[in-house]
Structures are given as structure tokens and as C-alpha cells.
Amino acid sequence: MHPLRWGDPARATSLPAGARALVEAVFGPPPEAGARDDGPAAVPAVGLPADTVAVFAAVVGDEHVSTDDDLRRLRTRGKSTTDLLRARAGDLADAPDVVVRPASHGEVADVLAVAVDRHVAVVPFGGGTCVTGGLAARREGYAGVVSLDLGRLVDVDVDPVSMTATLGPGLRGPDAEARLTEHGLTIGHVPQSFEHASIGGFAATRSSGQASAGYGRFDALVVGLAVATPTGPLTLGTAPANAAGPDLRQLVLGSEGAFGVITSVTVRVRPVPEVTRYDGWRWASFADGVSALRTLAQSGLRPTVLRLSDESESAVNLADPDAIGNSGGGCLMIVGYEGTAARVETERVAASALLASLGGADLGEEPGRAWEHGRFAAPYLRDAMLDLGVLVETLETATFWSGVDRLYADVKAALERTLGQPALVLCHVSHVYETGCSLYFTVAARQADDPVDQWLAAKTAASDAIAAAGATITHHHAIGTDHRPWLADEIGQVGVRVLRAVKAELDPTGVLNPGVLIP
């Protein structure tokens, strides 16, 4: 990945002419100087003593320890817009001192022992796609910071009888799927960051994919975990279900590297779908579409993909920049089905009849195919917009159905009030449950003199609105450092003490991802 941009440098793009003209009409011409993004900004000098680097090398081998500036630049922070803006402005202050690449659970445990002994902070690194500051550990009080790159833990062990697969945490989404496809199997976990994010990262952040309505969130797919902690190993998940006390897997899922390093993940797998079909539906208003989603979700029908854009997002049509402004009005819903031909047909007929009876207009397969085609494109468009001096960022939350109208109105108003004009606030329902849904907001605004401060002010206002509405501070992006100030509101002081107690037991000297997750 490029240190200052999203994804594969070969796929970097600029906006099509029509979209660029529209962006300039809304946000004004790009700043004269243009965005600086290509100079290799300097990383701070390595602060970790050479003899400590040598002890890490003794554990994993010289060739798997690096203090190379280019590699440290690539392991600095994640891929939120503020991460990119800081890197573009030459601020790489959070660069790790050294990148260490273990190959096994045992090597991870030995690296942690050295880290404890030398009081070095350890930041587990999967795909580096974090958007909540979870890779920017606190440095003060530590001898240095190690980026623990899990890219060599890539084993795959399939149990076709139980329909499970035990996967190395370093496998990226496409590699894991390619290995499972050899067995005719899939996890079905496809977040927008799929192409770069890792299995361990999905577990550590409780990620949710675009097809989670059908396959389930990643945490719901995990049946077993192995974890290395400074005080010993945790091996969890010996049966498909159990009543052996509280489910400790849930302590590891979402622990963001603060409790231990996930060294293997066993997931439920399914057959590769015979058929995939994604339909578009138009609704007169977002409220109508939300109401239809709720009815559908509570009807017992379970499409694989369900998402609904509000009026503004439907008009902008993030899936297809060539079609910006040509949505035809109303709100676009994507309803996708995956599985055997027979199951897809049965579900589609039943869900379509229900949606039609609720007032939806069937747009056929074309909008669904456009969404599928463009599903990984938006992050590249974010870079193109940043190049034009436009701030683009996202945030997400979730609540029960009875609170959706208020949450939508309050977060939108908070963002519109604080971003400065001109600004666009777009939203879609990204994940749907019987009891509620998540809302995913995307903003675009003319960049202020300090765009990082501009976003932090807007994000703070939106987060306060989320907390006041009683919704969650994060449905799938995790806590990191960015959401930490709102966690106590959500889980209460007793909840915070429980997290601190677990941390004290598993990581008594606090070397694991200091400053991340725990308030």
C-alpha cells in the first residue's frame, strides 16, 4: 500500500471529467498549490536501542526485523482520512521504531516476552486499514514501539466435515478466500477494505462486511481463537457451542491488540455460492426505505446484502462516479442474494413481493451490478477528492429501529453544523438486523486551513450526538484511540473497570497497544 493513499498504487484514479466539474461546482476550484502527497516524508530516527533490536532478531531471524525507513513509513498509523492528511503533511511522528515479523504462535509469545523484559510497546499489525487510530500506540514511557507484522502467519487448515477453517491472522481477505475456494468454500466476509485487511484484524476489530446480513458479522463467524498474551496462551472454542461460563472468545474479539495477539482464527465457512444476484429498489424517501428494511428484516426473509442510501447519497451515487447526479430521485436500496440457484430464486421472489407491496419500485439488476462493480472504488475516490482539496471522511453507528429517525437527524445536523460550508453529508443503512440497523455517514467538505482539526471538531460533535441518542459509538470500525473518549458512556464505569482488570491480568506491564481501546 502507498503510505499516503489507499490501496494499490496502480489503481489510483482521478475523478472522471463530469464528476470533477460537479465537485468544483459544489466545493470551488482546487487550491493553487494542490495537495502534496508524493514526497517521502521523514520518519523519526529509530529510538529503540540497537541491542534490543538484536534480541528481537534473535527470536525471529535477522531478515524478519527491519528498521528501514520505507517500511516504518508503511507501518505508521492506519487509513483514516486524518491518518492520510497527517502523512500528506509530513507528520509521521507515530512511526514504529522497528518492524518485527514472527512466523508462529511461539515466536509471537517470545517477542512479547522480550517486549515485557525491555518495556517496549507492541502494536499488532494485520492489514493496516484501521480507521480509528488503533495502530497509533502511546510511545511515552516505553523504550520504543514495535510494529508486530503478522503477515507470515498464513496457514490454512480446513475441516470440511464441520465446515470450519482455521486461518492464520496474517492472511489478507483475498488470500484467505483464494485458499478456501480451492475447497469450494467461502467465509462470505467482504468489508470495503477486504482487499487489504487481514483475518486477525477482522477478529480484533469485530468487523462487519457488506454481505453480513446473510453471512453474519465476522465475530459471529468465529468459533475458535488462539491468542498469545504476556502471561500465557489462551486457546478458546472447543465445541460449536458451550455453557462453560462466560464466552471468553468475546473478550478477545474486538480487543484490538490490547489483551493479546491473535495467532489463529477458526471460522465457520459456507459453500461458494452458485448464484449471486443484486437488485436495485427505489423508495420515495429514506424514511419509507428504512421502514421497508425493518419489515423485511423482521419478516424472516434473509437477503445476503441489504443497504439503503438516503436521498443525498442516492443522488451522488458513490458506486458510479460517471452517474453522479443522475440517480432519478428517491432513495436507492440494494438487495442481494447469494446461495444455491433454488434458494436465491425462492428468497428473491418472496422478498421482491414484500418490497413491492410496501411501495418500492423494482429497478432490476443494473443498479445492483453497478454497486457490485464499484464496491471497492470509493476509497480511491477519497484520494482523488483529497487531491482537489476536498475533505472526505466516514463514520458509523447503530441503534434499535425505534431510535433510527432521531439518530439520523441528530448526527446529520451535528455534521452539517460543524463542517463549514460548502459541505455534503450523505448516509446509508449499511447493516440490518431484526432489532435495528447501522447508519454509515460520508461527508465531503471544502478543506479548512487545518483539515485535521476541521474533521476532529465535526467528529466530536457527531460522536456527542450519537452518545446523546443512546446509540453505539461504533458498529464496526472499533474503538482505537479515536472512539475511546465515548466508550465509558456506552459501557459504564463498571464496564471500564472490567476491561482494565482483564488488561491487568493478561498484560500487567501494559506493553500491548498502549493507549488503544481501554479508557
Ligand X SMILES: Cc1cc2nc3c(=O)[nH]c(=O)nc-3n(C[C@H](O)[C@H](O)[C@H](O)COP(=O)(O)OP(=O)(O)OC[C@H]3O[C@@H](n4cnc5c(N)ncnc54)[C@H](O)[C@@H]3O)c2cc1C
CA–CA separation, 221 and 176 (whole Å):
14
Q: Which of 503, 513, 514, 515 binds ligand X (CB under 6 A)?
A: 513
Stretch that binds ligand X, among 117-125, 233-241, 406-414, 453-461 (CB under 6 A): 117-125
Per CB under 6 A, contacts with ligand X among 173-192 are 191-192
Phi and psi based region of residue 202 (left: phi greater than 0; alpha: psi -120 to 50; beta: remaining): alpha
DSSP-derived letter for residue 472 is B
- The residues, any chain, with a CB within 8 Å of residue 489's CB and separated by 6 or more, are 467, 473
- Can you tell me the distance from the alpha carbon of 473 to that of 394, in angstroms, rounded to the nearest whole number? 13
Q: Can you tell me which of 134, 230, 254, 336 binds ligand X, judged by CB under 6 A?
A: 134
Dist CA 321 CA 316 (whole Å): 8
- Of 130-138, 311-319, 361-369, 461-469, the segment contacting ligand X by CB under 6 A is 130-138
CB-CB neighbours of 293 under 10 Å: 24
| Interaction between residue 256 and ligand X (CB under 6 A) | yes
Task: Check residue 257 for interaction with ligand X (CB under 6 A).
Answer: yes
Query: According to CB under 6 A, which one of 96, 102, 126, 230 is a site residue for ligand X?
Result: 126
Which positions ≥6 away from 480 have C-beta within 8 Å? 130, 131, 132, 133, 134, 135, 136, 256, 516, 517
Whether residue 176 contacts residue 187, with contact meaning beta carbons closer than 8 Å, is answered with yes
The residue range among 257-265, 294-302, 314-322, 346-354 that interacts with ligand X, by the rule CB under 6 A, is 257-265
By CB under 6 A, the count of residues binding ligand X is: 38
Residue 432 interacting with ligand X (CB under 6 A): no
CB neighbourhood size of 61 (10 A): 13
User: In the set 207, 304, 399, 442, which binds ligand X (CB under 6 A)?
Assistant: 207
Binding part of the chain for ligand X, among 256-264, 266-274, 286-294, 493-501 by CB under 6 A, reads 256-264
Q: Write the binding mask 67 to 86 for ligand X: x where contact by CB under 6 A, - elsewhere.
A: -----------xx-------
209 exposed, middle or buried (CB, 10 Å; 0-12, 13-18, 19+)? buried
Q: Does 215 bind ligand X (CB under 6 A)?
A: no
Angstrom distance (rounded) from CA 371 to CA 459: 27
Residue 339 has phi, psi (to 5 degrees) of: 150, -155
Grid coordinates given for 273: 455460492
Among 114, 121, 236, 262, binds ligand X (CB under 6 A): 262
* Minimum distance, C-beta of residue 435 to ligand X, in the bound complex (Å): 19
Which range touches ligand X (CB under 6 A), out of 176-184, 201-209, 355-363, 502-510? 201-209
474 binds ligand X (CB under 6 A): no
C-beta of 59 vs 261, nearer to ligand X: 261
| Stretch touching ligand X by CB under 6 A, among 31-39, 129-137, 307-315, 349-357 | 129-137
Decide: is 426 part of the binding site for ligand X (CB under 6 A).
no
CA distances from 481 to 138, 196, 259, 518 (A): 10, 21, 15, 9
Binding site for ligand X (CB under 6 A): 6, 78-79, 123-131, 134-135, 150, 169, 191-193, 197-198, 200-202, 204-205, 207-208, 256-257, 261-262, 379, 476-478, 513, 516
